[in-house]
Amino acid sequence: MIQPIYRILEVCLYSLLNFLPFLALALYPFRDNLRFSGHKTALLIAALTCIQVFVGLYASFFPGSTAGILSLISTASYAVFYFTAIKKHPGQLLFTLLMLSNIANFTVIASKCLEGLFFPDLALQQYRYSMSLFILLVEAAIAFPVFHFIKYIYAPAMSAHTSGHDWNYLWLIPTTFYLIWYYVIYGNSTLTSLEIALIPKNAIILLFINAGAILVYYIVSKLILDQNKILNLQQQNHQLQLQTLQYERLQTRINDARRAAHDMHHHIAIIQDYLNAHNYSGLELYLDQYKKKMPDNKPISFCENSAANVVLHYYAQEAEQYNVTYSAYVNIPENCGIDSSDLVVLLGNLLENALDACKACTDPQKQIVIRATNDEHSLCITVDNSFTNKIRKSPDDNFFSSKHTGIGLGTLSVKTIVSKYNGVCRFEWRDNIFYSSAIFFKNLTTKP
């Protein structure tokens, strides 16, 4: 039977209103983590939209036993697209989908309830224009608070540095709310889903359940942001400790140099006595002993940039303690276009990871090589280090930590800093050498 064109348009409008706004909300927190280019992602969204509209048309005009299969196709296609198109921890994606699914279900039930109050005859039919009208009104009513929460609280929490371990369990929170409202609304009822949706009490119950859920989501997001602030403060504290330690070591070397200069005339007098007595063997022995007592002549300055120099010198001392060959060929000017705090965190994470890998390395010839080149167009920093431990990566292309459960925060921090300056970073490994590189392009604005 051929359907009237207005009915086809009604179903299409309903399908679009019930799909696209929530897809936009689902993509917004991860807009910087898309796996494909913008063009390819748009094509995938168009294909997914066609599937959702087709499912809506088929369910409306060919009702029957296929309803469950159609619902499965709709849900599965949505999930496959979402988990494929976004490079993030699966727990974060599942949390987001379930959270928005709860809000979408409330929108549908509240809209059907309002339709039943104002258009009781049309409410008994599927996907009429009146239903689309109230979906539009309900979405408009909740748009500001929901988008405000996602933009200013939820999205920053999704971008925060976390180990990833927490997201293995946090997705259970929206799952629990989903099961609660589903049981409360449908669990002990013999009514059809349409009859249930037309009861105002159910819409009110669902409103309070979702309000409570949003409050819990808000608390979880704030806890994640607070945890991230603590991590940032720890990194800043580590930077201050490096600077303090470098200052103390510098003072020690200055005092050693002063003492050596003060004692020099005594040594000259003794050398003169050996020469006058033609005691060359004694002079040679004396000079050998004197060389061992001379101040450390290793370079204090690796580059012009004082912030980078602090980190490079600190890890040079640490590498020496663990018998790691440490080579630095660094040209970083004082004004390199990168904030000192960001540069310290970047180099600190790269060198800390390199030193940790060398500590666990079984190769006696372990080494760390740092190179940095600077020109009018870019600043390039590379760190190569020996390693023998196993490297594991997560599905969202991050590295698992070798020191604790979950994602390593060091490489995540490096990626974030490089992205802030619109740069490029890469991590590769072969032949028991791990290669880390970061390129910053000059004259490009930073991300907020």
Residue 342 confidence class, pLDDT cut points 50, 70, 90: confident
Q: Domains in the chain and their CATH numbers? A: 5-230 (no CATH), 298-441 (3.30.565.10)
Residue 392 confidence class, pLDDT cut points 50, 70, 90: confident
Averaged over 82-86, what is the pLDDT? Answer: 94
67 versus 38: which is more confidently predicted?
Answer: 38
- Burial bucket for residue 309 (CB in 10 Å: 0-12, 13-18, 19+): buried
The amino acid present at 178, given as its one-letter code, is: Y
Tokens of 371: 């190179």
| Tens digits of residue pLDDT in 158-178 | 988 766 678 888 999 999 998
Residues in CB range of 321: below 8 A, 6 or more apart:
none
Query: In the predicted model, is pLDDT for residue 394 greater than 60?
Result: yes
Q: CB–CB of 161/398 below 8 Å? A: no
Residue 413 confidence class, pLDDT cut points 50, 70, 90: confident
Residue 307 confidence class, pLDDT cut points 50, 70, 90: confident
Average pLDDT, the chain: 85
**Lowest mean pLDDT segment, chosen from 9-13, 153-157, 223-227, 368-372:** 223-227
232 versus 125: which is more confidently predicted?
Answer: 125
80 versus 400: which is more confidently predicted?
Answer: 80
| pTM higher than 0.85 | no
Averaged over 333-339, what is the pLDDT? Answer: 89
Q: CB–CB of 120/197 below 8 Å? A: no
Residues in CB range of 304: below 8 A, 6 or more apart:
332, 333, 334
pLDDT of residue 257: 64
| Tens digits of residue pLDDT in 106-121 | 999 999 999 999 999 9
Residue 311 confidence class, pLDDT cut points 50, 70, 90: confident
- Burial bucket for residue 14 (CB in 10 Å: 0-12, 13-18, 19+): buried
Q: What are phi and psi of 385, to 5 degrees?
A: -145, 155
pLDDT of residue 439: 94
30 versus 395: which is more confidently predicted?
Answer: 30
Averaged over 360-382, what is the pLDDT? Answer: 91
Query: In the predicted model, is pLDDT for residue 405 greater than 70?
Result: no
Q: CB–CB of 260/294 below 8 Å? A: yes
